[in-house]
Amino acid sequence: MIRTASAILRKDLTIELRTKESVPAMTLFTVTVYVLFHFGLDRDSLDGELASGVLWVTLLLAAVIGVTRLFATEREQGGIDSLLLAPVDRTALFVAKATALFLYLLLLEIVAVPVFGLLLLGPDLFAAFPELAAILLLADIGLAAVGALVSALAAETRARELIVPLLLLPLVVPLLIGAASATEPLLREGGTSEDLGRYLALLGGYDLVFVLIALAVFDYLLDD
């Protein structure tokens, strides 16, 4: 299973490197939205809960772009059918897609979070590390699992571009709650992170549940 998964993953990453369709779009979108927020909120700098909210909501909206495109290559070239003709465990497909999405999100954040620190954040961004890194990683795991699941669910429907955000965004609300609440004291001058453990536990629990569910149900999706 691992071998199949890594083969699919390698293929996806190669295609992404060549066509550059997902990650640059997500990143550009995120930076643009930060600029929009500057004008929309009419603020030069944000801190605390406002900063945390803007950061996370924008990341989630950008994730929608990545999720919508996750099975795009398969769909366009009929790759799903050929994958399934071979006796491939659907679980391997899930692992590959979720890992790909996870990596795209990481790449997005490596660029977008410092840009946020530059454009909109008042307090120093580096004071927020390493806790912020932990929050980002945990959130990305959950986003990747749920994103892959939603992408597969919507893969065969006609109204895919509408259904993906409508499905994904409510499902990640607990993630948003955990991540934004955890990040909020980190982005404030002299904020204490006493509740951090609680929110990390929420994120971890969410990740665990949805990874397990996605692994369990993925077999029933994407066959013809």
Residues that bind another protein (CB under 8 A): 146, 149, 153-154, 156-159, 162-163, 166-167, 170-171, 173-174, 177-178, 181, 195, 198-199, 202, 205-206, 209-210, 213-214, 216-217, 220-221
Q: How far is the CB of 157 from another protein (least distance, A)?
A: 4
For another protein, give the closer residue by CB, 124 or 195.
Answer: 195
> Measured between alpha carbons, how far is 78 from 66 in angstroms, rounded to an integer?
20
- If the CB atoms of residues 96 and 146 are measured against another protein, the closer one turns out to be 146
> To the nearest whole angstrom, how small is the minimum distance from the Cβ of residue 183 to another protein?
13
Q: How far is the CB of 153 from another protein (least distance, A)?
A: 6
Let me know: does 57 contact 176? Beta carbons within 8 Å: yes
**Other C-beta atoms within 10 Å of 78: how many?**
9
Q: Would you say 62 or 145 has its CB closer to another protein? A: 145
**Comparison of 16 and 184: residue with beta carbon closer to another protein:** 184
How near is the Cβ of 7 to another protein at its closest, in Å? 25
Least CB distance to another protein at residue 202 (A) = 6
- Residue 128's alpha-carbon distances to 48, 60, 77, 134, 188, in angstroms, are 11, 20, 44, 10, 9
Two tokens, residue 66: 């990545």
- C-beta of 7 vs 166, nearer to another protein: 166
Smallest CA-to-CA distance from 147 within 107, 207, 57, 58 is with: 207
Tally the C-alpha atoms within 13 A of residue 100's C-alpha that lie toward its C-beta.
Answer: 31
Nearest-approach distance from CB 62 to another protein, in angstroms: 20
Our CB check for another protein shows the closer of 84 and 221 to be 221
Q: What is the largest CA-CA distance in the chain?
A: 58
Q: Tokens in use for 69?
A: 């495109």
- Selection from 41, 12, 63, 16 nearest residue 168 by Cα: 63
Tokens standing for residue 5: 């998964």
